[in-house]
Amino acid sequence: MTFELAVFDMAGTTVHDPDLVVQALGDALAQAGCNAAVPELRALMGYTKPAAIRSMLAAHDLPADDAQVALVHDDFVQRMLTCYRTHEAVRPMAGAEDTFAWLHERGIKVALNTAFSQDIAECLIERFDWRERGLIDAAISADRVPQGRPAPDMIRALMAECGVTDAARVFKVGDTEVDIREGRAAACGLVVAVTTGAYTRAELLTYRPDAVLDGLQELHALLDRSAPSRVA
């Protein structure tokens, strides 16, 4: 298969984030009286943050109306913006920038999608100068489409922006179960999971991606195979 577009998740996939999202989400929820455990929060990584907040509030028998969700989400966004602008541990994931360049050399466009709101996504893109350096062709966030993951809306919007009409010529890379389900919902030709984020290899295999990689450096070899086989 000749691919035309690669769609990558951000935190945990192309952005090194040592549980900063989990911490910020937990702190914002705690401010609202919801003391969620870390495993609960990690299970929601990859989902839109308003949806994750609503789920946690409801699970802890707390008000989960639109106003309360918006209040907690605003708190989360401010925490993330501060963190992503200044935290020294926030950096491109190992192999990410080399992989973007390698794909461009082969005529494959590179796009990012994320469950973050646009302001957080743009904060990271600007910090790394990915647009100015020509490393990405497009980016979209969950608040810019009708439905976030696992719906295919973000991938379809990126396809339209990049002029790609056949989903079989798109591959998706992410670190969570909902990334895998998003890729399947969009009928991507290849759905790849990475162990650099929220989920372990064993947890990812449960959702049957086409491949599970331990780093983006392994993507080159995977794409060079003529017929990647589905992981059991």
Band (pLDDT 50/70/90 cuts) for residue 198 is confident
221-225: long-range contacts, CB 8 A cutoff, minimum separation 24: 222/192, 223/3, 223/171
Distance of CA 152 to CAs 24, 148, 158, Å? 27, 8, 10
Contacts of 73 (CB under 8 A, 6+ apart): 28, 49, 50, 53, 117
N- to C-terminal Cα distance for the chain?
21
Read off the pLDDT of residues 89-114 as tens digits, 9 standing for 90 and up. Answer: 999 999 999 999 999 999 999 999 99
Average pLDDT of the chain is: 94
**What class has domain 5-17+90-224?**
alpha beta
Residue spans of the domains in the chain: they are 5-17+90-224, 20-86
Read off the pLDDT of residues 143-174 as tens digits, 9 standing for 90 and up. Answer: 999 999 999 999 999 999 999 999 999 999 99
DSSP code, position 103: H
pTM of the model: 0.88
Fold (CATH) for 20-86: DNA polymerase; domain 1 (1.10.150)
